[in-house]
Amino acid sequence: MEFNVVDLGRMPYLPCVELQKSLLEQVIEGSQPSTLLFVEHDPVLTLGASFHEQNLLLPIAEYERRGIEVIRTDRGGDVTFHGPGQLVMYPIFNLSETERDLHKWLRSLEETMIVALRSLGIEGRRFAPHTGAWVRDRKIAAIGIKIRKWVSMHGISLNCDNDLGSFDLIVPCGIKGYGVTSLTRELGRTFTISEAKPVALEAFRTVFVE
């Protein structure tokens, strides 16, 4: 599969969702190729299609007081946090070019993160039945998607150098008893989004092009 890459820099969540929706329709129509978006979001909690209210540990007004938006979204999954220092990847991909298999798509997205981690000397893994990429018993990359006419939107958030304390304000992805980690934590040095982008892109090319 060939795909374009667009780096959006830092962008609020809702305008980015609208951009994804527009691009998705263009990919469905065939007027645009599959496209991988890179973005860094302002602090936001997104509530997926499987959201349960008990996974918000504070009142919504308190999150907003702390400068964190709370937004319902149509991706799969429960609640997760996006914010500065986290690389978010939205593959607006035409799955008809690969295989119309939702389960395989999720596993392939996990594989991109495992490949990226391996290139940095980190052993990533799957942790069934929980979707995402993990380092030991801590999640480092969360995955939530939506498919329309076999074109994908939403995607992966990879913790690079973000404040992991924000995840203490929720039950991340509705999974109790397990923590989160970041590239900075695992590598023992600051690892920025700028450093992560080429690593992630190479992993996408390894999984979907080569």
Mean of the per-residue pLDDT values of the chain: 95
Considering the entire predicted model, what is its pTM? Answer: 0.95
Which tokens sit at 63? Answer: 């999150």
CA–CA dist 33, 72 (Å, integer): 28
Contact (Cβ atoms closer than 8 angstroms) between residue 43 and residue 202 = no
Give the pLDDT of residue 100. 83
CA–CA dist 118, 83 (Å, integer): 24
Give the pLDDT of residue 33. 96
Give the pLDDT of residue 174. 84
Q: How many domains does the chain contain in total?
A: 1
Give the pLDDT of residue 129. 87
Residue numbers annotated as active site: 173
Domain harbouring 177, CATH code: 3.30.930.10
CA–CA dist 33, 10 (Å, integer): 23
CA–CA dist 30, 86 (Å, integer): 31
pLDDT tens profile 61-79: 999 999 999 999 999 889 9
Q: For 31, list phi and psi in degrees, rounded to 5.
A: -85, -15
Domain that holds residue 92: 4-208
**129 preceded by cis ω (within 30°)?**
yes
Residue 86: burial class (beta carbons within 10 Å; 0-12, 13-18, 19+) = buried
Low-confidence ranges of the chain (pLDDT < 70): 210
Burial readout 150-171 (b: 16 or more C-beta within 10 A, e: otherwise): bbbbbbbbbbbbbebebbebbb
CA–CA dist 61, 115 (Å, integer): 39
